[in-house]
Amino acid sequence: MAPASSIERNHAMSKLAGKSAIVTGSGRGIGREVAMKLAAEGARVVVNDLDADPAQEVVELIRANGGEAVACVGSVTAPDFADRLIKTTVDSFKGIDIIVNNAGYTWDNVIQKMTDEQWYAILDCHLTAPFRILRAAQPVISAAAKAEAAEGREVFRKVVNISSGAAGGNAGQSNYSAAKAGILGMTKTLAKEWGRLKVNVNAVAFGLIETRLTQALAADQSKSVSIEGREIKVGVQQAMLDGASRMIPVGRAGRAEEAAGAVYLLCTPESNFLSGQVLYCGGGPGANF
């Protein structure tokens, strides 16, 4: 038999070797970096995006680097998505070890101008979708945990929900702030419900991170992206970014790979006795974003 490649040996020795991970919204931005980081540490990854091309690109990148990945394309808000995602994971990798609820976007307005559609679209994406995914995963995780307990084995699994500094309130973001505060309540509740199953349920709250949603705009410029058939304005005026950066102790916005590092920390064995916690990844205490 030929010797294992150096990549295969590295994966075998990695902290997440043999683990299966779901990362929603992982075709772009922070989610992409999370998927790549977990894969680099040996995890087999289910990549999700609204669009097939970015999802498949990440899958191929992971495979090219010696990892394992499959795509599950679609909107996390679709009523049948959670069951399809869990089935894809179990069919592909025989179990679930890590769930990162990352998919999301912003659709801002002051409350008197915010429509019901804006309100529910953001709550559905950031709060209802994670709820459905975790609900669908529970029978799989419970069965595995019971089997492991019967064998006298203690195996920890990880849930990392993505929140934001905006959970503390942000002008023009009553929908997003409410959703990101709500996911913290869900995180703490599931940490209590799933502790007996040896599942660590934590959250990462991001500050200002460089993504396509927070790209700098000139004073007279506007940009938008199409999300589920809606044209959503993205980007932040340069003056606002400069002001926010001055309030960050390290003096700049975070990078997507740095955001992924915070998520990774809560997926490692070192976090086995951490649950129900919120890790703020924002370069130090500063302005909400």
Tens-digit pLDDT profile for residues 96-134:
999 999 999 999 999 999 999 999 999 999 999 999 999
In a domain, 176, yes or no: yes
* Domain assignment of residue 244, yes or no: no
Please indicate whether residue 105 is annotated as part of the active site: no
pLDDT value, residue 246: 76
User: Does some domain include residue 197?
Assistant: yes
Cα-Cα-Cα-Cα dihedral of 108, 54, 24, 154, to 10°? -150
Q: Whose CA is closest to 76, among 25, 33, 27, 144?
A: 25
- Tell me the pTM: 0.90
**In the prediction, which pLDDT does 7 show?**
47
Whether 32 is in a domain gets the answer yes
Predicted local confidence at residue 212, as pLDDT:
72
Within a domain: residue 247? no
Residue 2: what pLDDT? Answer: 42
Residue 27 included in any domain: yes
Higher pLDDT, 111 or 240: 111
Kindly report the CATH number assigned to the domain that includes residue 145: 3.40.50.720
Read off the amino acid at residue 160.
V
Distance CA(170)–CA(288), nearest Å, equals 7
120: Cβ–Cβ under 8 A, 6 or more apart, which residues?
none
Catalytic pick from 105, 120, 176, 280? 176
Q: Which of 67, 99, 54, 62 is nearest to 200 (CA)?
A: 99
* Cα angle 171, 32, 62; round to 5: 175
Q: What is the mean pLDDT of the chain?
A: 90
Q: Determine, yes or no, domain membership for 1.
A: no
Mean pLDDT of 162-171: 93
Is the confidence at residue 284, as pLDDT, over 50? yes
The number of folded domains in the chain is: 1
Domain assignment present for 220: no
Tell me the mean pLDDT in the region 265-273. Answer: 98
Q: Which of 60-69, 89-98, 233-242, 250-259 has the lowest mean pLDDT?
A: 233-242
Give 236's pLDDT tier (boundaries 50, 70, 90). Answer: low
Domain that holds residue 73: 6-207+256-281
Provide the percentage of residues in the chain whose pLDDT is more than 70: 86
**4-44 pLDDT, tens digit each:** 444 454 555 689 999 999 999 999 999 999 999 999 999 99
- Residue 202: pLDDT band by 50, 70, 90 thresholds? very high
